[in-house]
Amino acid sequence: MTVRIRVAVETPQHTGLGAPLSYESERELAPGTLVHVPLGRREVTGVVWPGEPEDAADVVLKPVSRVLSALPPLPRAWCELVEFTAAYYQRGVGEVALSVLPPELRKLDDEQVANRIAKLHRKWPQPDPQAARPQTPPLSPEQSAALDRLAQLNSDSAPTALLHGVTGSGKTEVYLRAAEQALAAGKQALVLVPEINLTPQLEARFAERFVGRSIVSLHSGLTPAQRLRNWLAAHLGLADLVLGTRLAVFASMPRLGLIVVDEEHDPSYKQQEGARYSARDLAVYRGKREGAPVLLGSATPSLETWHRANEGRYVRLSLSSRIGGGALPRVRLVDMNLLPKTRGVTTAMAPPLVAAIQERIARGEQSLVFLNRRGYAPVLHCGDCAWKSGCPHCSAWRVFHKLDRTLRCHHCGFTERVPRACPECGNLDIAPIGRGTERLEEQLAGMLQTPDGSAARIARIDADSTRLKGTLEAQLGAVHAGDVDVLVGTQMVTKGHDFRRITLVAAVNPDSSLFSSDFRAPERLFALLMQAAGRAGRDAAQAERSEMWVQTWYPTHPLYAALRRHDFEAFAQSQAKEREMAGLPPYAHLAMLRADAKTVEAARGFLQAAAEVASELPGADAVMVYPPVPLHVARVADVERMQMLVESSSRVALQRFLSLWMPTLHELRLQRKAPEQRVLRWAVDVDPLSI
């Protein structure tokens, strides 16, 4: 006798089939069981889904091909997390479920899975209760108070707490102690970090503290075999601690007892392709659903999180002082308007700043110079005919990389050798405009030296210099060992790193975000500068002479006034007032419909047609649909990109509207078959981070 079951499979988006499909099975299968089923002419991996299949007695269902019975079923709580993600972010259940599972699982049959699990059990280190525990540092009064409050909340129904602590205040120690309490209760702990390059560093901290405990990491930098091994360890309950990036929020953990989201404000927690989920928001949902406390940590919380804490929906825990009583770095603003100009061009580094860095080198201290632009220069320019190194496939400039003499587009990857002369007029004198980290490194090397007259040791950390495996770890090791005098880098070096010898941080060109059309740009800039400032003076003995220098053309801007006082609350309050007056998050809820096409007319036409359909839907009066506009970089890889904003004062009304709108969008794309009307792809982004 056969039974009907629901199976979540990854279906093509154009089909509009987002719900689990019905199949026939020779036996009952527990929800969460992995299976192989036919889909069209292919055989695909699926997950048996909770719920009753549709009653369609006259329909002949396809049978399940194979069952991965060796793998214990995924927990029901995991299925509920995936289902919520798919519904909220308007994606298919199967698409979300299969995208967050290790890809290697799709390639294995039941026997191979059984062998992997058996091998994992054989080689997995057993917990050693007799292992020597490292000596833990004493807690500050604020850390003790935060942990006591968190322990009290554990008895409540899945609380969410915001740990608001200045840089260097010991937030990581609070994470460690909270995880210690969870493990002592026989639970597992999940710790999320925003960047891959922070995962090994945090993993080392946890491994040092939790001797004899099993710790695994989950992030996109792992090989497929490593990712499957670590995922299985978490799913089988062998791993006590799981550390990872946003993908790890979906780790299957049967004994989940704590979720930590470090640097919760970081934009990296928002997925930008496929199902555009926010790992931070899903962590909060998962904690409530599974009864696990959630700890959100940041020195500069997102305004959404700050607003919820002010409303009392989150508990606020404060760490207002640095460990050891060290002072926060003094912020000094350099007014670029007062600097002398040579042939109309202002020097890259203010002489007082160069002198301050030179002074640090003489004292054997380190400096960090931050410029959030890689490459040598943003553009090459011909002074005779005004030619610039634009990308032929994108509405963006190709960046000049001097080291390999290339012009490289950072959007589509198109790369060419630097021309010997201007392609338009043949002028041999083409010159770089602006500067990136590569050029800044070169300029600093020509200006700085050690007391004995030798060249200063300068290192650069950005996406170009750390492309090869192991280079990032090697460069960070050199900084920690004191083998570097000046570290030049992008935002990769401004967050999470505990550089004990750095006493000066300089932000070279931060003004570009002050007047951006994106309403979140000031918030991101303030957080980035606060995080960068936090790299200085982390050693209490050097804190009194630590400084942050900011080169700016707008020294009287309110953002810099709040930065000088390290006053996040004042900045957040001013931003909240502006957003409330403008009807922006957290006082409103947004979704973005984006369309890509070969022509601007096709993309705009699709969005305008979608707006017309939207106006006829029930509940359309509860949302505002704005006219289509191009993205900041409108063309990428010869594809035109347009977007249309949808706004509502009610999250429920917005979700109800989107659920009715999505099926019409699938139909609309199928109707527009003419070449001049066709869109290549479209997607809805709920709670978009960039506008």
pLDDT of the residue at 345 = 46
Q: Is the pLDDT of residue 513 over 80?
A: yes
- Closest by CA position to 451, among listed 568, 353, 358, 341: 358
Mean pLDDT of 2-11: 92
User: 3-99: what fold?
Assistant: GIY-YIG endonuclease (3.40.1440)
Least confident among 78-87, 125-134, 208-217: 125-134
Binding-site residues for Zn(2+): 382, 385, 391, 394, 409, 412, 422, 425
pLDDT of the residue at 155 = 53
Q: Is the pLDDT of residue 441 over 50?
A: yes
Binding-site residues: 382, 385, 391, 394, 409, 412, 422, 425
pLDDT of the residue at 673 = 86
Q: Is the pLDDT of residue 437 over 70?
A: yes
Q: How far are the Cα atoms of 129, 436, 441, 465, 548 from residue 460, in angstroms, in the given order?
A: 43, 11, 7, 7, 19
Helix and strand totals (H; E) in the chain: 17, 30
CATH architecture of 326-373+437-577: 3-Layer(aba) Sandwich (3.40)
C-beta neighbour count of 580 within 10 angstroms: 13
Mean pLDDT of 40-62: 85
Higher pLDDT among residues 340 and 586, named by residue? 586
- Which ranges constitute the DSSP H helices of 363-504? 437-447, 471-480
Query: 562 falls in which pLDDT band (50, 70, 90)?
Result: very high
Tell me: the pLDDT tens digits for 86-144? Answer: 999 999 999 999 999 999 999 999 999 999 999 999 988 877 666 667 888 899 999 99
Q: Is the pLDDT of residue 55 over 70?
A: no
- For domain 589-686, the question of CATH label 3.30.70.360 is answered with yes
Which ranges in the chain are annotated with CATH 3.40.50.300? 141-324, 326-373+437-577
Mean pLDDT of 12-28: 83
Tell me: the pLDDT tens digits for 396-433? Answer: 999 999 988 999 999 999 999 999 999 999 999 899 99
Query: 344 falls in which pLDDT band (50, 70, 90)?
Result: very low
Euclidean distance between CA atoms 217 and 225, whole angstroms: 13
pLDDT of the residue at 132 = 67
Which ranges in the chain are annotated with CATH 3.40.1440.60? 3-99
Mean pLDDT of 157-171: 89
pLDDT of the residue at 158 = 63
Least confident among 112-116, 442-446, 597-601: 442-446
Which ranges in the chain are annotated with CATH 3.30.70.360? 589-686
Residues 526/571, Cβ–Cβ less than 8 Å: yes
Query: 14 falls in which pLDDT band (50, 70, 90)?
Result: low
- Closest by CA position to 375, among listed 345, 350, 405: 405
Q: Write down the CATH number for the domain with range 141-324.
A: 3.40.50.300
